[in-house]
Amino acid sequence: MMMMGRSQASNIQALPALLGVLFLGVVVFFAMNFQAPVRAFFAEFLATPTPEYASLSRSELENRLQEAEEKVTRTEYQSVLYGLVVEENKKLREVRGVESISTAIPARVLSRPPRTHYDTLMVAAGSAVGVSAHDYAVWNGILLGEVISTTASSATIELYSTPGSEHDVVLGTPSAVAISRGLGGGSFEIMVPQEVVVVPGDVVRATTDETLLFGVVVSVSGSATDATKTVHVASPVSMNELDFISLLPAGGI
Amino acid sequence: MNGLNKFLFIISFFLSVLFLPWWVSVFFGVVLLAVWRAYVSVILGAIILDVVFGSPLAVFGGFAYVYTLIFVTLSVLVLFLHKAMLE
């Protein structure tokens, strides 16, 4: 009788845990439906910067307008020169038989690590401007990651340094293709055979396009008697300082 | 006064979820759970965090609701501890 009472009490105590698991299941199952509208709301309203002119006085606004007009005049002159350069570049490309450069989509970064544990960037460019899943995120020739989801006005990019994610890279002398494993925060770990010479400062390149930098070797560890050695690589860009990046079409590089 | 503090903490928690680093949100979440047992607010904030910024993590077998899992676990733990201390 007493045992039955104890069993009922433990059943009641286990109820919150069961409800918690059930609730988690419901969230995992249904939350994807709300992802697009919630992300769009964040990108369009919450992460939009406030207008910087709202609190300025009339005289300050007049000064700024005058400065802006002068700047426009200078820019108009420069644009004429730029047009000439573009024309010359186009002719040279035709002569050399070079195809046109792939069109990168510039995107403002709305959120970046360490906002969350997830190694993701959210950018203010979505499917409305041609961004699609698997597009590459690039900053100054450094490959950062891949678009994993888009809404009309935003895209989420999973950085290659996301813990546990694996990608092919090229490094060392002679050149070897190896698998990099993300450790989070712009760090990677790569196992390479002892025969491949890798020293700190070497560059690691992406296999998708070897002109794009993946990271820089920070240190190499492992005994000379081991078959492989571990190469520690860091991305040369600080993720929390990214303001603008470029998105390249998956088939365009 | 206690109600006002709770309200301010909840507002701070939701703002931190959207605009501040993860550890600030975790701090506010833990305080809200420990002091006021604000389960609903904290779990809702965690869901927003995961839905807006989350991505499937390879280390968790592609699971994309890490913060929700953490805060649901914490909520259940707080509920157990509260009951255990009252008995």
Contact A154, A40 (CB under 8 A): yes
Q: What is the pLDDT of residues A51-84, one digit of tens each?
A: 677 778 889 889 989 999 999 999 999 888 888 8
Closest Cα in chain A to B83: A13
Distance from CA of B1 to the nearest CA of A (A): 29
Q: Cβ contact (<8 Å) for A16 and B79?
A: yes
Q: Tens of pLDDT along A9-56? A: 556 667 777 777 787 777 777 777 777 788 888 887 777 666 677 778
Does residue A233 carry a pLDDT above 90? yes
Mean pLDDT, residues A178-204: 90
| Chain B nearest-CA residue for A150 | B52
User: Inter-chain contact A115–B66, Cβ cutoff 8 Å?
Assistant: no
For chain A, the helix, strand and coil percentages under 3-state DSSP, each to the nearest 5: 35, 30, 35
* pLDDT(A232) > 50: yes
* Contact list, A114 vs chain B (CB under 8 Å): 21-23
Cβ–Cβ below 8 Å for B76 and A17:
yes
Rounded (5°) CA angle A83-A84-A88: 115
| E-strand stretches of A160-243 | 166-171, 176-184, 187-193, 203-206, 213-221, 228-234
Kindly determine whether residue A114 and residue B79, on different chains, have CB atoms separated by under 8 Å. no
Q: Cβ separation of A23 and B43 shorter than 8 Å?
A: yes
Which of A12, A24, A111 is the mutation pick for testing B, counting most B CBs within 10 A?
Answer: A24
Compute and round to an integer the Cα radius of gyration of chain A.
26
pLDDT value, residue A1:
46
Count other C-beta atoms under 10 Å from residue A230's C-beta: 14
What integer best gives the mean pLDDT of chain B? 88
- What average pLDDT does the structure give for chain A? 83
Choose, out of B25, B44, B60, B76, the residue to mutate when testing the contact with A (most A CBs < 10 Å): B76
Tell me if residue A164 falls in helix, strand or coil: coil
pLDDT band at A90 (very low <50, low <70, confident <90, very high): confident
Length of chain A: 253
What are the backbone dihedrals phi and psi of residue B44, each rounded to the nearest 5 degrees, phi first?
A: -60, -45
Task: Give me the pLDDT at residue A95, please.
Answer: 75
pLDDT at A98: 60
Reference A132, options A112, A113, A108, A154; nearest CA is A154
Q: A-chain residues within 8 Å CB-CB of B66?
A: 117-118
The arithmetic mean of pLDDT across residues A135-151, rounded, is 90
Confidence check: pLDDT of B12 > 90: yes
Instruction: List, in sequence order, every residue forming a beta bridge with B57; answer none if it has no partner.
Output: B63
d(CA A208, CA B19): 34
Q: How far apart (Å, rounded) are the C-alpha atoms in residues B6 and A245?
A: 39
Q: Please provide residue A170's backbone torsions phi and psi, each rounded to the nearest 5 degrees.
A: -120, 130
pLDDT at A208: 78
Annotate A47-78 with DSSP letters as a single string: TSPPPTTTT--HHHHHHHHHHHHHHHHHHHHH
B66-86 and B39-53 are packed helices; what angle lies between their axes, rounded to 10 degrees? 170
On the CB side of A163, CA atoms within 13 Å amount to 13
**Cβ contacts of B51 on chain A, cutoff 8 Å:** 31, 34-35, 38-39
Contacts of B42 in chain A (CB under 8 A): none
pLDDT of A203 over the 60 cut: yes
Residues in chain B: 87
Give kind and range of the element (H or E) at residue A159: strand A155-159
% pLDDT > 70, chain A: 89
Question: A121, A112 in Cβ contact below 8 A?
Answer: yes
Question: How close is the nearest chain B Cα to the Cα of A101, in Å?
Answer: 31
User: Which residues does chain B have within 8 Å of residue A38's beta carbon, measured at their own beta carbons?
Assistant: 48, 51-52
For the beta carbon of residue A158, count every other beta carbon within 10 angstroms. 23
**Contact: B54, A118; criterion CB under 8 Å:** yes
- Please state, in angstroms and rounded to a whole number, the distance separating the CA atoms of residues B11 and B9: 5
Tell me the pLDDT band of B28, cut-offs 50, 70 and 90.
very high
Q: Which residues contact A180 (CB under 8 A, 6 or more apart)?
A: A160, A166, A167, A168, A169, A188, A189, A190, A204, A214, A215, A233
CB-nearest partner of A162 from B58, B63, B75: B58
Please tell me the predicted confidence (pLDDT) of residue A241.
82
Confidence of residue B45 (pLDDT cuts 50, 70, 90): very high
pLDDT at A10: 59
The answer to whether the CB of B75 falls within 8 A of the CB of B43 is yes
State residue A147's pLDDT score.
92
Tokens 């020169």 -> residue: A81
Q: How far, in Å, CA of A219 to CA of A200, rounded?
A: 5
